[in-house]
Chain A
Amino acid sequence: MTAKSATAAGAGRASVLFPAVAAFAIGFGLIFMSGLVQAETLHDAAHDVRHATGFPCH
C-alpha cells in the first residue's frame, strides 16, 4: 500500500469513527436516562418500561 492510499484509507476510517462514536454516545445516553438513572421523576415516568424491558428498577 502506498503512502497516499494509506492516508486516504485513514481519512475514510476517520470520517466514520467520529460520527459513529458520537451517535453511539447519544444512543447510550438515551438508554442510561430512560433505563438506569434513579432520579425520582425519571424513575416514576419510565417505571413500567424499565420493568418490561428488563432494567434493574427499584
Chain B
Amino acid sequence: MMPPMTCVTPPASPATDMFSRILTSGLIAGAATGLIAALLQLWFVQPVLLHAELYESGQLAHFGAEAVSAHPDLGPFEWTRNMLSVLFTMLVYAGYGLMLVALMAAAEARGHAVTARQGLLWGLAGYLTMQLAPAFGLAPEVPGVAAADVQLRAIWWLGTAIATGLALWLIAFGKGWAAWAIAVVLILAPHLIGAPQPETYSGPVPPELSAEFAGRALGAGAMAWALLGLLTGWFWQREGQRAPVPQPA
C-alpha cells in the first residue's frame, strides 16, 4: 500500500527563488506571445509564403508568355504543418522570453527596476536585436530566393544579433562616451563587414512577393516583440511582488 503523499516544501534559496521567478515570467509571457505571433503569421505571412512556394516548385512562373494571376488558389488549410508552426513559434518566443527576463533580472540587480511600461522598450530593443538588425543585411527570405551558404548566413546572423544586443545594453546602461562609442561601432560593424550574399540571382519568385513577405515578417515580428516586452515586464514585476523580498544577510 502506498504511503500517504505528503507535500513538504523545502526552504528555497534566493537563487532558486530567482530562477523560478525568471522561468515563470519568461515562459508564460513567451508562450502567450508565441501563440499570438503564430496567429499573426498564419494570417498575414503564411499566405505569401504559400504563394511563393508555387513559384519555387515551378507550378507558377512569371515573365512567361502569359500573364499570371496574382491571386492563385493556395489550397486547403494544412493542419499538421500549421500546428507545427504554432508549436515552434511558441518555442521560439519562449526562448526569447527567457533571454529577455534573464536580462531584466541582471538589470534589476544593478538597480534598474522593470515594469510593463519599461518592458515595452525592452521588447523593442529585442526586436531591433533579433529581427531588424539581422534583416538589414539578410532580409526575411521568401522560399526560393537565391542566398549564400546557410552556415555563413547563420554565423553572420548570430554575430549581428549578439553585437546589436550588446550595443543596446551599453546604450541603456553604459556610462560615458566610451560606452556609447563602443555601442555605435558594435551596431555598425556587422553591416560594414556585410552579410554573405549570393554569387548570382536565380530566385524564381516575383519581387512583389519577396517584398511583401519581408514587410509582413518584419511587421508581425514588431507586433510580437512589443507584446513580448509588455508581458515579460508585467509578469516579471508581478512575480517579484509575489516572491519574498531577498534580505541582505
**Which chain A residues have a beta carbon within 8 Å of chain B's beta carbons?**
5, 7-9, 11-24, 26-31, 33-36, 38, 45-46, 48-49, 51-58
Contact = CB atoms under 8 A, between A and B. Distances in A.
A51 B141 contact: yes
Interface centre among B131, B151, B217, B248 (most CB of A within 10 A): B248
Interface residues of B, number: 60
B26 A51 contact: no
B105 A20 contact: yes
A25 to B, nearest CB: 9
Interface of B: 13-16, 18-19, 22-23, 26, 38, 41, 45-46, 49, 81-82, 84-85, 88-89, 91-92, 94-103, 105-106, 108-109, 131, 134-135, 138-143, 147, 150-151, 153-154, 157-158, 213, 217-218, 220-221, 246, 248-249
A30 B95 contact: yes
A51 B19 contact: no
Among A17, A29, A48, the one with the most B-chain Cβ atoms within 10 Å of its Cβ is: A48
A39 to B, nearest CB: 12
B141 A27 contact: no
A53 B131 contact: yes
Given A11-B249, A51-B49, A23 B102 contact: yes
B19 A22 contact: yes
Nearest to A24: B102
A56 B140 CA distance: 8
Contacts of B46: 48, 52
Contacts of A15: 13-15, 18, 246
Contacts of A36: 154, 157-158
A57 B98 contact: no
